[in-house]
């Protein structure tokens, strides 16, 4: 039969063995996790490079497009200034003679109206005298 010390040593050995077995299982799982993580990081690195290259190309194309838009905007501003200048010139060329013509026609209408009024008044006076 076993003595008390031997039973205690046997229980301690069994507990130690179970603990080591659990630690071995945990280490195996940790090793698998680390290897999968390494694979994922490697795949991510492989996928990231082309994405960054595509993104850099897109940024370059966008910059070129913005340069063209800036040039178009500058041309549009110049065209707007030219149209504004032409409008002011046309206004000054057309408005001056139109104002003069309108003033002249107003004066002629007024004089003609006054002549008619005078003619009517003279006609009435002649009728009254008769």
Residue 128 lies in a domain: no
Report in angstroms the alpha-carbon separations of 65 from 12, 54, 100. 77, 16, 52
The answer to the question of residue 118 being in a domain is: no
Is 122 domain-assigned?
A: no
Q: What is the pLDDT of residue 130?
A: 64
Give the residue, 96 or 3, on which the prediction is more confident. 3
Collapsing DSSP to helix, strand or coil, 2 comes out as coil
Q: 2 near 10, Cβ under 8 Å?
A: yes
Question: 96 pLDDT band (50/70/90 cuts)?
Answer: confident
Buried b (16+ CB within 10 A) or exposed e, 67-79: eeeeeeeeeeeee
Structural domain count of the chain: 1
Q: Is 116 contained in some domain? A: no
Domain that holds residue 13: 1-94
Residue pLDDT, tens place only, 24-62:
999 999 999 999 999 999 998 888 888 999 999 999 999
- Whether residue 32 contacts residue 24, with contact meaning beta carbons closer than 8 Å, is answered with no
- Indicate whether 119 belongs to any domain: no
Q: Which residue has the higher pLDDT, 62 or 2?
A: 62
């Amino acid at each position: 039969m076993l003595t008390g010390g031997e039973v205690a040593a046997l229980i301690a050995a069994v507990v130690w063995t179970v603990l080591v077995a659990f630690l071995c299982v945990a280490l195996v799982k940790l090793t698998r996790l680390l290897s999968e993580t390494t694979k994922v990081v490697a795949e991510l690195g492989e996928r990231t490079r082309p994405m960054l290259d595509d993104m850099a190309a897109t940024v370059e194309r966008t910059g070129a497009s913005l340069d063209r838009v800036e040039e178009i905007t500058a041309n549009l501003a110049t065209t707007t200034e030219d149209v504004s200048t032409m409008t002011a010139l046309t206004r000054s060329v057309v408005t001056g003679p139109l104002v003069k013509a309108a003033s002249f026609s107003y004066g002629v209408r007024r004089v003609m109206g006054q002549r008619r009024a005078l003619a009517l008044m003279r006609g009435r006076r002649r009728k009254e005298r008769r």
